Amino acid sequence: MEPLVDTVIEDPRWESLGLDRLAEWAIETSFAALGMSKFGYCLCVMGCDNARIAVLNGDFRSKTKPTNVLSWPSFNLGPVSLGAPPRPIEPGLVHDPKMLGDIALAYETCAQEAQEQNKTLSDHVAHLIVHGFLHLLGYDHVENLDAEFMENQEREILTKMGLCDPYSEPT
């Protein structure tokens, strides 16, 4: 059986965070919270640095600066209507899972954001993995109604993980 999450470490700082375990936990919890079986799916999470993600951001989004997380869904899905869930992705076979896509995270940007938001790096990265995973499933936040729907899904998943709401106003 293929692993659910293939973790690629390009920057060794991700190893000390335990990105592989963190990604597996975030993805497994996301599947469960969405009422989906994790069997028959796989994806890749890459831990890189700002320089690498800036190149990827330039190549794929024409933005030549670092960002916290990027995702590349394997399927062009989207909601049937504004504020609705995306069309479901049928699983592959257990011995031949369906590749959902790739997620990349930039260490320096994630660390800086976590510090600015008074969060642990692992909590912030867990949220970004969930966010990227939802993109792989066809969720988006371009339109306000879609953004609201996606953020509510993130909140539900993060609550199940015991993490704070990243969209609440600081008190």
Render pLDDT for 22-81 as a digit per residue (tens, 0 to 9).
Answer: 999 999 999 999 999 999 999 999 999 999 999 999 999 999 999 999 999 999 887 778
Quote the pLDDT of residue 99: 97
Kindly report whether the global pTM for this prediction surpasses the value 0.85. Answer: yes
- Residue 35 in tokens: 């009422």
- Residue 123 in tokens: 């909590």
Q: Is the dihedral of CA 121, 126, 131, 137 positive or negative?
A: positive
- Give the pLDDT confidence of 108-150 residue by residue, as tens digits: 999 999 999 999 999 999 999 999 999 999 999 988 999 999 9
Coil, helix or strand for 45?
strand
Angstrom distance (rounded) from CA 67 to CA 64: 9
Angstrom distance (rounded) from CA 130 to CA 152: 12
Specify the amino acid at residue 44.
C
Instruction: Kindly state the DSSP code that residue 165 receives in the 8-state scheme.
Output: -
Per-residue pLDDT band at 170 (split at 50, 70, 90): low
Helix (H) or strand (E) holding 93: none
Domains annotated for the chain, with CATH where assigned, are: 5-160 (3.40.390.30)
Angstrom distance (rounded) from CA 8 to CA 14: 10
